[in-house]
Structure 1
Amino acid sequence: MIPSDATFAGTFPFAPRFTEAPGFRMHYVDEGPRDGEVVLCLHGEPTWGYLFRHLISTLSRTYRVVVPDHMGFGKSETPAGRSYWLQDHVANLEAFVLALDLTGITLVMHDFGGPVGMGFAARHPDRIRRIVSANGPTPFGQPDLFDRLVANAAVSPWFQWIARAAADGTLEPVLGNLGFNILSTLKLNGFENNAIITDTWIDAYGAPFATQADCLGALGWARGFANDAHRFETPTPAADRTIRDKPALAIWGEADRTLHAGHFLPLFSAIFPSGHIERLAGVGHYCFEDAPDAISELISDFLRRT
């Protein structure tokens, strides 16, 4: 776990906040006017709120930007006695949002933040105002979800590695030392802007995984796919109808090697047939690192228009 006051040479200058509502010490950023519309940003694997640092600075001038670190990631605690499946993260997010009583939420979701956010939306559709998916799947009870996951895994280096590593026993040794191989893991998933790689940047992403005990979150997410332990939330018909009416935006870096647009953008369009899609050439999986200014502008414009 990162020290609460770590700013990584001033690149993450936001005041740390904590809640025990999910049953562990959960860190979050809460910037912007208290009475502003809520923008809730959800990261994935193996990142944390640092991924949204540029977006926080841009949007918090007008909006209340809330960015939690999932259990086992960032500045949040990594409890030893917990499981780290998708359904656990959904339950944690639910406890967090209800504790802060967030409403009128614009969800901004990246990577596995997509299934976590959509899982929460299935449970509390009336708290959601808009949906933004940025290289993040939007599973919401679509009948072809499993087939799309399997097809994507067959062409994704990350998911292919998970399957091999789980079979040959190297999953835990590798991800249990994630703090030392964070750069290779991030590159495997895919980002294109190599100019951003500095010692500070590597430290920011590697620091949450300093010891094997700190790596349970990253390991749990990968192991959940290998063991088929993740459970996707199925919305009720009423929740499905409510969410389909929300304004929605998908932003997809087309150089993503982990989550391929051809497999996952149809999931978005199936729920949001009127939703807008922005495809960014030359932008990889970690789109918030590859094109932070462009993505901040796309999301700002979407918020203004809707």
Structure 2
Amino acid sequence: MLSGTDHLAPLRGLYPFQTRRLAVPGGTISYVDEGSGPPVLMVHGNPTWSFYYRHLIAALSPTHRVIVPDHMGCGLSDKPQTYAYTLQNHLGNLTRLMEHLDLGPLDLVVHDWGGAIGMGWATRFADQVRRIVVLNTAAFLSPRLPFRIAVCRYPIFGDLAVRGLNGFAGAATVMAVERPMSPEVRQGYLFPYNSWANRVAIQRFVRDIPMSPRHPTWAVVDGIDRDLVNVRDKPMQIFWGGKDWCFSDYFLAGWLERFPAAAVVRFDDAGHYVLEDAHEAIVPRVVRFFGEARPQ
């Protein structure tokens, strides 16, 4: 477990936020709870953590209460070695956090695995959702899995590459962006994943990608997809990195098929970590969107 001021001292310049903890079955999760006002929930993916949203947290917290959980095994949350790191459990943990905080209607931001986790919660509690921002993610099944991710699922090789050599989180700091990260930002992304044990969830997230109906998470994602209709009337803005080799324009088309009224801004020169490559353009747009009169 990584927590406390002493542990976070190297990151305070980039990540100066207040964090809290919540006990859930199997461990304790950390979450940012910053600012006051209308609530905003941001849900990250793999192999990121709440650090990914730091620009949005800083911009929104003067006028909003911003909640950003670290999934079990990620960021500053516990990293139990025998935990079942499945979409169903991540969704359950997010639901427990929302019940604990009792925020009322909120705005939602999702990225990567946060699409399935965040939209899974949203479709079950549609009356608690006001607006949605989508950042290079999916909440529906796909037959597509890039080779460089598929190889991380291979027995033995995947363990050695992802957990031994940090070949997933480390590679993402280069492959997921078009604008090179500074050493300080790269350190921030990798800070929680500094050992074989602390990289357990990164590997389990990769293995939880459902590629056939035999996979237990297949039915969960399929159910979320079918329930997206529950939030189809919510105002949505999509900010898309056009050079994302994982969540490509195939997935953007999938969102527009399900949410044809969504407003889209595609950044031709941004990658999967679209908030890294294009935060100067995205952050003010999100601030304006969430600052609009609340939808009735």
Is the pair's TM-score, using the shorter chain for normalization, greater than 0.5?
yes
Measure how far apart 1:2 and its partner are. 2.8
Of 242, 245, 248 in structure 2, the residue corresponding to residue 260 of structure 1 is 248
Kept in 2, the 8 Å contact 1:135–1:287? The answer is: yes
Aligned sequence identity (%): 33
Kept in 1, the 8 Å contact 2:119–2:224? The answer is: no
Structure 2 partner of 1:205? 189
**Residue 276 (structure 1) aligned with residue 260 (structure 2):** no
Q: Distance in 2 between the 1:209 and 1:178 partners?
A: 11
Structure 1 partner of 2:205? 221
Structure 2 partner of 1:64? 65
Measure how far apart 1:46 and its partner are. 0.4
Q: Distance in 2 between the 1:24 and 1:167 partners?
A: 27
Aligned residue type for 2:100: A
Kept in 2, the 8 Å contact 1:182–1:202? The answer is: no
Structure 2 partner of 1:173? 160
Q: Distance in 2 between the 1:178 and 1:96 partners?
A: 32
Q: Distance in 2 between the 1:29 and 1:93 partners?
A: 13
Aligned residue type for 2:248: H
Structure 2 partner of 1:291? 278
Kept in 2, the 8 Å contact 1:4–1:75? The answer is: no
Of 18, 22, 30 in structure 2, the residue corresponding to residue 15 of structure 1 is 18
Q: Distance in 2 between the 1:235 and 1:54 partners?
A: 29
**Residue 232 (structure 1) aligned with residue 221 (structure 2):** yes
Measure how far apart 1:136 and its partner are. 1.5
Structure 2 partner of 1:193? 179
Q: Distance in 2 between the 1:265 and 1:236 partners?
A: 14
Alignment length, in residue pairs? 285
Measure how far apart 1:184 and its partner are. 2.0
The residue matched to 1:273 in structure 2 has which SS?
Answer: coil
In 2 relative to 1, CA 180–258 (structure 1 residues): closer, same or farther, beyond 3 Å?
Answer: closer
Q: Distance in 1 between the 2:73 and 2:60 partners?
A: 26
Deviation readout 1:97-144 (Å, 9 max, x if unpaired): 1111122121100111001111111221111111110111133xxxxx
Instruction: Give the gaps of 5 or more residues in structure 1.
Output: 140-144
The residue matched to 1:12 in structure 2 has which SS?
Answer: coil
Measure how far apart 1:85 and its partner are. 1.4
Kept in 1, the 8 Å contact 2:74–2:201? The answer is: yes
RMSD: 2.2
Kept in 1, the 8 Å contact 2:239–2:267? The answer is: yes
In 2 relative to 1, CA 20–133 (structure 1 residues): closer, same or farther, beyond 3 Å?
Answer: same
TM-score (structure 1 length as normaliser): 0.86
In 2 relative to 1, CA 275–250 (structure 1 residues): closer, same or farther, beyond 3 Å?
Answer: same
**Residue 29 (structure 1) aligned with residue 32 (structure 2):** yes
Structure 1 partner of 2:287? 300
Kept in 2, the 8 Å contact 1:179–1:207? The answer is: no
**Residue 109 (structure 1) aligned with residue 113 (structure 2):** no
The residue matched to 1:107 in structure 2 has which SS?
Answer: strand
Kept in 1, the 8 Å contact 2:133–2:238? The answer is: yes
Most deviating of 69-78 and 79-88: 79-88
Q: Distance in 1 between the 2:41 and 2:135 partners?
A: 13
The residue matched to 1:108 in structure 2 has which SS?
Answer: strand
In 2 relative to 1, CA 281–138 (structure 1 residues): closer, same or farther, beyond 3 Å?
Answer: same
Q: Distance in 1 between the 2:163 and 2:210 partners?
A: 16
Kept in 2, the 8 Å contact 1:21–1:99? The answer is: no
Measure how far apart 1:22 and its partner are. 5.0
Q: Distance in 2 between the 1:105 and 1:13 partners?
A: 23
**Residue 3 (structure 1) aligned with residue 11 (structure 2):** no
Q: Distance in 1 between the 2:155 and 2:29 partners?
A: 34
Q: Distance in 1 between the 2:245 and 2:90 partners?
A: 24
